[in-house]
Amino acid sequence: MRISSGIDEAGLGPKVGSLFVVGVDVEGEIIGIKESKEVFRRSLSSYKLAEDMVLSVFDSLNLNFNDARSMFSYFFGSCEDFLDNVNIPAFGGEIIPLPFKVINLVPIRVPAKHLRKNRFKKDAEAICRIAHHLKGERIIAGLAGGYKDYSRFLKGWEKVGELVYSRDGRVLMFVKGADKKFGQVALSSIFAKYLREIEMLSLNRLLGFNEPIPKFSGYPSDKNLSALIKTLIDMKLEDFIR
């Protein structure tokens, strides 16, 4: 069966919290998958729908996590103690039938303290690291900011066109707005956003906010951003600030 591969990120623009970049290999028809900004609508019901999809993919990969700490430890090797604050499912999600099968899931987390400089470069590097581990003949990735040439991160890949690279019969294409055009990239964006929202939910709870979805998003558009940053500084949690 043909494999569709996609890569996308969540958390490139915020002032607080990590950047997550996720790649997926998918078998089957990817129809009707919306990118993360259209799925996570700042309501518990929308977060549940996203978590339904995430948990269903985990189940197909024989992955079962009881809490955020075990999930982050599995994917990233280590995690902070505050992730104990969140159980999985976090938003009431449940396993549902999916018309496709994810056969490979590759996430990377870039902590906030490493994003104070060169965040677009670090996003580009993470995308390219993930591409090495995907199996599809054509890999579609979202752009890393304004990056125009990813060659420095793609040793062994040949540049065959503008934002197009080839290696061993596989092609990696960087596409503007890819999460709106390709289901596999939209799916990657949902996983990246889910991981970031779990981190932010855990951080919110550490600060004493127990709403069902994160009160503070960490994005510049968040009217509570200044208060969040001040609280993190007062609690000596500057590592979560970019």
Q: What is the pLDDT of residues 10-23, one digit of tens each?
A: 999 999 999 999 99
* Under 8 Å between Cβ of 10 and 115: no
Q: What angle do CA 83, 130, 24 make, to 5 degrees?
A: 80
CATH of the domain at 171: 3.30.420.10
Number of domains in the chain: 1
Strand order in the sheet with 138-142: 100-110, 19-28, 3-10, 138-142, 170-175, 164-167, 158-161
Domain containing 58 equals 3-240
pLDDT digits (tens, 9 = 90+) for 213-233: 999 999 999 998 999 999 999
pTM: 0.96
